[in-house]
A and B are shown apart, each in its own frame.
Chain A
Amino acid sequence: MKVNGERVTAQFPDHFTLLEVLRYRLGLTGAKQGCDKGDCGACTVLVDGRPVLACCTLAATTTGEVTTIEGLATPEGPHPVQRAFDACGALQCGFCQTGMILSAKALLDREPNPDEASIRQALSGNLCRCTGYTKIVEAVKKAADTSISLPQKLGPAAEGFQVIGARGRKADAIGKATGATQYTDDLVRPRMAHGRILRSPHAHARIRSIDTSRAAALEGVYAVIVGTELPKPYCVIPWTPDETALATDKVRYVGEGVAAVAAVDEDTAIAACALIEVDYEVLDAVLTPGEALADGAPKVHERDWKGRDRRDNVCKKVDLAFGDVDGALAGAAAVVEGHWSYAGSTHGAIEPHCALAEWDADGRLTLWSATQVMHYLHRELARQLEVPESKVRVIQPAIGGAFGGKSEPFDLEICSALLARKAGRPVKILYTREEVFYAHRGRHPMEFDFRIAADADGRITAVDNDIVIDGGAYHSFGLVTTYYAGQLLPGPLRFGTYRFSSRRVYTNKPCCGPKRGHGSVQPRFPLETALDELAGQLGLDPIEIRRVNAMESGETTVNGQFVPSTGILACLDAVESASRWKERHGKLPFGRGLGVATSMYISGTAYPIYPNDMPQSGVQIRADRSGRITVFSGTNDIGQGSSGTIAWIVAEELGCDPDDVHVVSGDTQLCPVDLGSYSSRVTYMAGIAAREAAQGLRAKLVTAAAEHWQTTAARVLVEPGRMRHSDDGRTLGLVEVLHLAEARYGVLGSTGGYRTRQAGGDYRGGSIGASPAYSATAHVVEVSVDPETGIVTLENIWAAHDCGRAINPTLVEGQIEGSVHMGLSEALYEHHDFYLEGRERGLHKGPSLLDYRIATALDTPPIAASIVESLDPGGPYGAKEAGEGPLHPAIPAIANAIHDAIGVRLREMPFTPERIRAALEA
């Protein structure tokens, strides 16, 4: 076989795919394993210049010349397509991009100046979950035009800053574009074994016995474990420990793990799993909240974690009321009420979960894992494996997308650790795509009985919401979800009064959890679509009714959440003018329509998951004589670019180039604790920690320079790459200052941290949903609806997002575009759905990236992202979140646009052609 111009030889069996041989025999790990079966395109390589799927190609039949991403660059540097992806910020997690780049290269070789339609067509077999394809299409256009030079330097910074606000390259973008970046499954350890988890075929069954003897006796099997070896129940929320790594007494969904094997290779591990005999007593299952809440329903959990009998399947209930809701309803000028259903969906990160565990001779565990909550995983591993936390190290390599789907401990992390200890060798477990669907923790299905009332001017006087949440088999973050479904709704629109009753119910399905916009995307659907109906009743324009209700900076919501800043009015202005709303809304021909929606989201939660008074984010900085600044941060860069944001902040404070700031993150041994990448907390919290640490170091440098000049610190100006005496203009280069400072202080370092300040309402649960700052978003969506088929085509989406200060606007735009894409995809195409009847009852309807449909480049319209900067008084340089808020409005904005197009209101998701046809015929 000829690969990247070299003739290579490798030994492999005939049934090995080209992907396996490239990745695991030749060490060319740039081609990625995403879906197992040709549905995602992450494994794309070129054979004789043509893009092919390496996972559906046998290595032994490959006769042509193979080009992988590693073969694209030349000694002169990366290929123009790779440079264009870097320059345009077209990479986030980077996992799909190697395949995407090769598809783009094949297109450009064939068609040097493709138009946008050709580009989208050529990339339509490569799914991207991060970018919304917007910047990718832009990058391919740029790569096609050789006359455009690629920006390598920082763009202009915001006024008054040197780095903050400057567009710039993403940290490790070129590593990702060239395939050099290592993800967990790219790692290989000496003597490494492969693990596999045996999973339940039943939605609900008692385990009578498990016989692993035949599996253990199979040649090549190193270790077999069962659930009773890991008996301690756990949960990411320490108050609700209701699951174990492998089922101990009962299985509660199809796909739950019951045993695990480590063997010499995956084929042997699979064969061993088939030899494990599990004797099940099949039980009646409950698959919907309706079934679960029925009298006499079988209980998913008979007892809680304290051993108390459970009365029913309700795992959490929250009832809160603020003001006289009934009085406001009675006195309203207009009321809209009804039932809404929000369908479950899943994260669909293109990288499947993967973990690799290794114990050293001193009994210390190192676990490499695709996790976004390294610290919580660290704590749980120590507890499960019964070793001190000081003997556990968690490393998060580059991660191929997460979106909340990797934000708690998973079975494979705990099982690989125990298997590795028993086997006496490193053990890696990589989920199949199907297992990713069973691990799930995705968007909860919710049912709403919702009412909203307004006065004659359109002011919202009451919102009343009864919420039933389908939780699946375990708690996960469910305690928080149950609160978030109610607590995060009041804002950016002001409610006069508010009441919600929220119940999360156990069902025999994979456990739901936090997906981008945790718990709060769903209730936006009834709120923002009912508000449109309300506007219709009152004769108000949909944007106008939102303006009437828009909160102001410094206001407190009806449920007691203080909102220091909000730019919702500016967001509405931006999308109104960009979409030419005033000329077009309500005036387009039948079948074409515009819809608007808004949202607000937290910038981290005010309180950590386990109570403690320590910082939620810690940063250490080390500066050495070379001029390099090394920043140690326990954050998990999950593709959103948090390491780059930290580099921007440190560079701003020290007057250096962000390229000279090396951020070490994702390692619990090297880095101070950060609670992880969830709840959109990192820019705000780790940003403040990084700024504090950088300012500490800066003070030392300024003092050293001042002493050198025998002047005061006030006369030392920090400028790019140097310090300057404000009186006489003398300068010292940064390296010189570092030498002076090291001579003055010894080894240079500093630390910073972010600590919770008191926040939230003064009532039980008032702290859940409390955040130090809140973003705001508005979308306008333009759709075409084919009334005969019911098929919706998205024509344009304008999204304006208030992120406070945009520290690197390119990354912020990427978060907006990716959020919009994820939202539109769940609105129109995706459904994490289960069979409820017949013999298939309890089975997932399609645990693959073929049957679970993520929007391709051809299904995604141009997304016009605009940034609104309503500076937050508490955020670093005024910054707030950007990663999750911009998803929320997509769903109701599409529903509202469908109404503008064809006059029907959809209250059930996803908005399939079947539903639209049915609504038109009703």
Chain B
Amino acid sequence: MLRMPAFTLQHPASADEAVRMRTELDSLYLAGGTDLLVNLKHRLHQAEHVIDLRAVPGLSGIETTDGAVRIGAMTPLAAVEADPTVRASFPGLAEAVASIAGPQHREMGTLGGNVMLDTRCLFYNQTEEWRTALGKCLKADGDWCHVIGSAKACVAAQSSDSVPMLTALGATLEIRTAPGTVQTVALADLYTKDGRYDQVHTVPRTSLLEAIRIPLPGPGHRSTYRKVRSRRAVDFPQLGVAVAATFDGPTCTSLEVVLGALLPSPRRLPTLAEGIGTPWTDDVIAAVADRVRRFARPQRSIHGDPAWRRHLAGVETRRALEALRQS
């Protein structure tokens, strides 16, 4: 069978100890394992130690505090999907989480793990043998991006379903960057444009994500997530469209559209004035959808024809807006 390289497990007793281990040891964090262990089997990482975050107390659970819902990073996806507060306040997040992989992955995987999911690429998420046959890429031990055919940048795709939705919902992250130091980082600010494992985040990879905070919305807030994929289960997104909007009667007062599975970062649309301050007539929706379609720049880093995925960005945005108009 496909096997992992040998490593030693570490069981930190606290978040501070986990961060200290990650900083001092040649190591990786392990949350649910559905992605990390496969990446280790692919030999995408080599580490002497793996830090089991399940041992750390206080990283799991969903609570409402200070006008926000706080979801511990180690909360299983299945628990997020089933949580009544999440379903009531952020239906789009429940939809996004329910669309992740297969049922077993959602029992094992955690929201924090999904947020910190490594970017994906058809030329990267392969075995050591396969990547050796190709020649290693910029993302791992190489100097060439096979997607864009140059050495300039890694365009592996942000492939988490939760991230676009959480970004649209204005989520912030509680990140322990060093022992004793917890920073609050807006999810929208977490990403760079470089898809490499240790470059894609604006905080060091040694940081520990402890919780995701989502501000509780006021009245008239609606959200939805639409996922494009080949099969109705298991597959990563070929495109994710997350929409959050606030309505005052029929009039939209705020609109956020965030796209996933395009580039290394979630792609947040700049102000969509077309859709704000007006009821959503079909023409308004079409204008927003067209803007999103033109904004989308799919790459061949993941499965599916880029031109088709771009077309879908418009179609799925329109459908998302139509659904929110109805609800």
Contact = CB atoms under 8 A, between A and B. Distances in A.
Interface of A: 13-15, 17, 20, 33, 36-39, 41, 44, 50-53, 55-58, 60-61, 63, 103, 121-122, 124-126, 199, 201-202, 254, 266-267, 270, 430, 432-434, 788-790, 829, 838-840, 843-847, 850-851, 853, 855-859, 913-914, 917
B102 A41 contact: yes
A783 B320 CA distance: 24
B233 A56 contact: no
Contact of A202 (B2, B7, B133, B312): B133
Contacts of A58: 9, 30, 33, 37, 50, 52
A270 B108 CA distance: 29
A56 B231 contact: no
29 contacts: A13-B6, A14-B50, A17-B37, A38-B37, A41-B104, A44-B104, A51-B104, A53-B105, A56-B33, A56-B37, A58-B37, A58-B50, A61-B30, A103-B103, A103-B104, A125-B102, A125-B105, A125-B234, A266-B3, A432-B127, A788-B315, A850-B234, A856-B234, A857-B233, A858-B233, A914-B304, A914-B305, A917-B308, A917-B311
Interface in B141-163: 144, 146, 149
Contacts of B225: none
B234 A432 contact: no
A570 B303 CA distance: 42
Contacts of A790: 308
B326 interface: no
B33 to A, nearest CB: 5
Contacts of A859: 231-233
B235 A15 contact: no
Nearest to A830: B230
Nearest to A53: B104
B105 A838 contact: no
Contacts of B134: 839-840, 843
A581 B231 CA distance: 28
Given A839-B146, A845-B122, A61 B52 contact: yes
Nearest to B144: A839
B67 interface: no
B54 interface: yes
Nearest to A835: B134
B30 A38 contact: no
Contacts of A39: 234
A15 B5 CA distance: 7
A744 to B, nearest CB: 56
A845 B300 CA distance: 12
Interface in B218-260: 228, 230-236
Given A15-B5, A829-B230, A846-B122, A51 B135 contact: no
A839 B107 CA distance: 39
Contact of A52 (B104, B149, B303): B104
B65 interface: no
Given A125-B102, A266-B3, A914-B308, A36 B41 contact: yes
**6 tightest CB-CB pairs across the interface, nearest first?**
A125-B102, A124-B233, A201-B133, A36-B2, A858-B232, A14-B9
A144 to B, nearest CB: 17
A23 B127 CA distance: 23
Nearest to B6: A15
B199 interface: no
Listed residue (B2, B4, B54) with the most chain A CB atoms within 10 angstroms of its CB: B2
A855 B231 contact: yes
Interface in B280-321: 303-305, 308, 311-312, 315
Nearest to A844: B130
A15 B234 CA distance: 25
Listed residue (A58, A199, A846, A853) with the most chain B CB atoms within 10 angstroms of its CB: A58
A37 B104 contact: no
B88 interface: no
Interface string B82-117: 000000000000000000011111011000000000
A122 B103 contact: yes
Nearest to B101: A125
Given A103-B103, A202-B133, A914-B304, A33 B1 contact: yes
Nearest to A917: B308
Given A61-B30, A843-B134, A914-B305, A125 B103 contact: yes
B172 to A, nearest CB: 29
A269 B118 CA distance: 30
B327 interface: no
A121 B133 contact: no
B34 A38 contact: yes
Contacts of B232: 124, 856, 858-859
B5 A50 contact: no
B181 interface: no
A846 B134 CA distance: 13
A857 B233 CA distance: 9
Given A17-B37, A50-B78, A51-B104, 9 more contacts: A15-B6, A53-B105, A56-B34, A58-B50, A60-B9, A61-B30, A124-B102, A125-B234, A856-B233
A124 B130 CA distance: 28
B29 interface: no
A51 B230 CA distance: 24
A807 B105 CA distance: 41
Given A851-B122, A856-B234, A434 B107 contact: no
A37 B129 contact: no
B235 A853 contact: yes
A264 to B, nearest CB: 14
